[in-house]
């Protein structure tokens, strides 16, 4: 039996409440809520090994999300912006950049990926599908 994907809803905003309620019937997903006030966030996330972390873009990214991007390598983050109705995927993928050649390789990889990017989709929050 395949592993159930684990999705962490990070934060205690009204938006995360709405997303949690909207995903209640998605039984194939393991939806877990994590508030930003717990002191051992890194350890809990390491233990959970989530497949995706969803957060409200309204939070201060530098204080909350940026440290998590470094501590959760390989885990994608999905930032939701209710004002614009958009979702932003942040990669926590990390690569060693010890030389300018390494940096050039990373730049080429990312620009190649951008040329193959998926078109954005609109999100509608509240009752219905997110």
The predicted model scores a pTM of 0.75
- Domain 6-115 fold is Rossmann fold (3.40.50)
Spell out the domain ranges in the chain: 6-115
Residue whose entry in the numeric block shows the structure tokens 């599908």: 129
The C-alpha atoms of residue 66 and residue 72 are separated, in whole angstroms, by: 10
For residue 59, give every residue at least 6 positions away whose Cβ sits within 8 Å of its Cβ, in sequence order, or none.
11, 13, 36, 65
Q: Which tokens is 44 given?
A: 């809990």
The C-alpha atoms of residue 90 and residue 53 are separated, in whole angstroms, by: 10
Q: What is the pLDDT along the chain (130 residues), one digit of tens a residue?
A: 678 899 999 988 899 999 999 999 999 999 999 886 667 888 888 889 999 999 998 877 667 788 888 888 889 999 999 888 889 888 877 888 888 898 888 888 878 866 665 555 555 555 444 3
Residue 30, H or E segment? strand 30-34
The C-alpha atoms of residue 86 and residue 50 are separated, in whole angstroms, by: 22
């Amino acid at each position: 039996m395949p592993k159930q994907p684990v999705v962490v809803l990070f934060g205690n905003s009204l938006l995360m409440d709405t997303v949690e309620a909207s995903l209640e019937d998605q039984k194939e997903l393991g939806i877990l809520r994590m508030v930003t006030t717990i002191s051992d966030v890194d350890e809990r996330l390491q233990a959970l090994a989530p497949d995706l972390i969803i957060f409200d873009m309204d939070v201060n990214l530098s204080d909350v999300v940026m440290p998590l991007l470094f501590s959760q390598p390989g885990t994608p983050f999905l930032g939701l912006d209710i004002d614009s109705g958009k979702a932003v995927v942040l990669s926590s993928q990390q690569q060693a950049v010890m030389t300018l050649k390494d940096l050039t390789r990373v730049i080429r990889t990312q620009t190649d990926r951008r040329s193959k990017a998926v078109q954005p989709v609109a999100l509608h929050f509240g009752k219905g599908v997110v």
